[in-house]
Amino acid sequence: MCGIVGYIGWREAAPLLLNGLKRLEYRGYDSAGIALLNGSLLVMKQKGSVSGLEVAAEGLSLDMQSATLGIGHTRWATHGEPSDNNAHPHKNALGDIAVIHNGIIENYSALKQELTAQGLIDKIWKSDQSLDLESATRSALRHVDGAYGICVISSREPDKIVVARKGSPLVIGIGTGEFFIASDAAPLIEHTNKVVYLSDGELAVITREGYTVKTIENIEQEKIITELDFSLEKIEKGGFEHFMLKEIFEQPAVMHDVMRGRVRLEEGRICLGGIEDYLDRLKHAKRIVICACGTSWHAALIGEYLIEEFARIPVEVDYASEFRYRNPIVGVDDVVIVISQSGETADTLAALRTAKEKGALVMGICNVVGSTIARETLCGMYTHAGPEVGVASTKAFTAQVIMLYMLALALSKGRTLSHDEIALNLKELSRIPEKATRILELESQIKDIAERFQGARNALYLGRGYNFPVALEGALKLKEISYIHAEGYPAAEMKHGPIALIDKDMPVIFIATRDSTYAKILSNIEEVRSRKGRVIAIANEGDQEVSRLAEHVIYIPQSSGPITPLLTVIPLQLLAYHIATFRGCNVDRPRNLAKSVTVE
């Protein structure tokens, strides 16, 4: 989950590396470091943010300021506490090799005892004088169990960077007489839009003249150059105080982008090119299993409701982290859908590979073009949500829910819904961006509510049907960025335990839109009021009944039940955001979290 950058070319490396690390800081911000090579090798690293490292780098010698080769790292700690010593890059005893590493080496303990004084690459290189940096790195990786994304440089071969990956993403940016390395495309886009994605088990050697990619077994690989389809402005804050707030406000535009070219209103049909060739097999699946983690898992729960209601195909939703370890019963008649914003989530990738081994048709839904999930699934769809920098996911959730909504309608065609019924649902879906914009206009009201509840120690989120997963997502957002303990529950389950927690200091957030469960939700609100709980309700415009019962009401436009999650989630995102800012929390970099979970 850490961030890697690297540069070799004709420009000064240090400012490029530091700027790249700032672009990647959402991947980890416990410590940071750079290694520069200009005749000799210099490593500079420290605990804390990249900005602190940037200040320290002002004291670089003239030789190192002019270095045109270097690597950098921003860390999210897994093994070993955040400290100056544990920060990357690491050097060997002689100080002529520097390595940065993402991932978890599972046999690190055995290797550590043997190699503390020397280092694995150094030991192998010295044991055979015929080896070069590439072959020594390749040989070292054969001793390693676990996940890695590594960059290696050495003053013994001062015009070369060696990189390799297994389970932790790496991308090479191709410039004119210069090359860039990064964990993802964010640090590259201001320099080049041409990239090559490394696959698992590949090693690349990069010089100023070019690059070669081989397998760890030394078999040369032909790589496809991908052109990035986003611009620098998409990874800038654009006048917003935080990336999270910017991304919340981007949701109406993202909704348009997700549907563009796919929702054919005039024809009353869905066009999902990425799965077109497999649609018949998807429709005739005995069962669909959706695997995901975190926010994507909540979107998957909504997908379960949508697919079962519209297409009448049985659906199960599994935590990807549990799926691979419980020996799941999955076979050739099943479809497994994996969902991940980054397309690199380690647990979701493991679930994908388990499902493939068992013969299931595996389909992916992800945001990042060229990501590992996009490459390893048989078919799939990109969300086209654009880069998401805020650690707490917002626009990725709404994009994934729309994708699942469109998939459910596509699966229902010719099975359960008529052409007119599908066309009616598509018309309703097409109105969502405008309705989302109206909700965002309520920000000041939501901010006032947030100010009142910033001191809460606990919160309860309750919803029914399609809005139960939204309650889970609202609670997750509050936990992630404000550090307030919060739980999401089906509203009817409140009296089976959580009602014991309710007192005069407990905010209870109800999603109380008018649908088939509306009367039951009102009854649940009465139960909370009778125990002096503080009720905040999300309700449909014009609903006077809820206003009579709740202390605060946030009104949203009326929509059909299956579509309401796309609207009800937005006030909960804003509520969590503003509570967190009132509490002085760094919403873009919440403690102990990183954006893309590429380790187990």
pLDDT of residue 24: 82
Among 233-242, 324-333, 481-490, the range of highest mean pLDDT: 481-490
The answer to whether residues 342 and 360 touch, using CB atoms and an 8 Å cutoff, is no
The CA-based dihedral angle spanning residues 392, 325, 346, 378, taken in that order and rounded to the nearest 10 degrees: -110
Asked if residue 409 has pLDDT above 60, the reply is yes
CA distances (Å), 401 to each of 74, 307, 366, 562, 591, in order? 32, 11, 12, 10, 27
Cis previous bond, 89, omega within 30? yes
595 in active site:
yes
Asked if residue 599 has pLDDT above 60, the reply is no
- Mean confidence (pLDDT) of the chain: 90
pLDDT of residue 111: 59
Asked if residue 115 has pLDDT above 70, the reply is no
List strand residue ranges (DSSP E) for 87-241, in order: 90-91, 97-102, 148-154, 157-166, 171-174, 179-182, 194-197, 202-206, 211-215, 226-227
Higher pLDDT, 103 or 377: 377
* Confidence category of residue 169, pLDDT binned at 50, 70, 90: confident
Asked if residue 353 has pLDDT above 90, the reply is yes
Angle, helices 565-582 vs 432-440, to 10°: value is: 20
With a pLDDT cut of 70, the percent of the chain lying above it is: 96
> 237-271 b/e with 16+ CB inside 10 Å = b?
eeeeebbbbbbbbbbbebbebbbeebbeeeebbbe
What is the tens place of the pLDDT at every residue in 539-577?
A: 999 998 998 999 999 999 999 999 999 999 999 999 999
Instruction: With CA atoms as reference, report the closest residue to 593 among 393, 391, 394, 396.
Output: 391
pLDDT of residue 598: 56
Asked if residue 581 has pLDDT above 60, the reply is yes
* Confidence category of residue 600, pLDDT binned at 50, 70, 90: low
**Which residue type is seen at 146?**
G
CA 500 to chain centre: 35
**For the chain, what's the residue count?**
600
Angle, helices 120-127 vs 133-141, to 10°: value is: 120
Asked if residue 84 has pLDDT above 90, the reply is no
CA dihedral (112, 115, 121, 127) positive or negative: negative
- Alpha-carbon distance of 137 to 165, in angstroms, equals 12
Q: In the structure, how many helices (H) and strands (E) does the chain have?
A: 21, 26
Q: What is the set of domains in the chain, with CATH numbers?
A: 3-228 (3.60.20.10), 236-430 (3.40.50.10490), 440-590 (3.40.50.10490)
What is the tens place of the pLDDT at every residue in 245-302?
A: 999 999 999 999 999 999 999 888 999 999 999 999 999 999 999 999 999 999 999 9
- What mean pLDDT comes out for the span 297-313? 97
pLDDT of residue 117: 54
- What mean pLDDT comes out for the span 151-174? 93
* Segment (H or E) for 93: none
What is the tens place of the pLDDT at every residue in 369-406?
A: 888 899 999 999 999 998 888 889 999 999 999 999 99
pLDDT of residue 366: 95
**Which residue type is seen at 309?**
E
- What mean pLDDT comes out for the span 305-328? 94
Among 79-83, 117-121, 341-345, 419-423, the range of highest mean pLDDT: 419-423
What is the tens place of the pLDDT at every residue in 507-550?
A: 999 999 998 888 888 888 888 888 888 999 999 999 989 989 99
SS (H, E, C) 152-171: EEECCEEEEEEEEEEECCCE
Tokens read off for 60: 């670089």
Flag whether the pTM goes above 0.75.
Answer: yes
Q: Tokens 């997502």 label which residue?
A: 473
- What mean pLDDT comes out for the span 305-323? 96
What is the tens place of the pLDDT at every residue in 234-248?
A: 777 888 999 999 999
- Alpha-carbon distance of 307 to 36, in angstroms, equals 53
Contacts of residue 479, Cβ cutoff 8 Å, sequence gap at least 6: 485, 486
Tokens read off for 300: 């998957």
Higher pLDDT, 485 or 494: 485
- Alpha-carbon distance of 363 to 374, in angstroms, equals 9
Number of Cβ within 10 Å of residue 280's Cβ equals 9
2 in active site:
yes
- Alpha-carbon distance of 397 to 341, in angstroms, equals 9
* Confidence category of residue 428, pLDDT binned at 50, 70, 90: very high
Q: Which listed residue (2, 293, 366, 585) is catalytic?
A: 2
Instruction: With CA atoms as reference, report the closest residue to 485 among 456, 525, 528, 449.
Output: 456
Q: Tokens 């993402």 label which residue?
A: 102
Tokens read off for 557: 């436009």
Q: Which listed residue (45, 160, 395, 595) is catalytic?
A: 595
CA dihedral (90, 145, 373, 200) positive or negative: positive
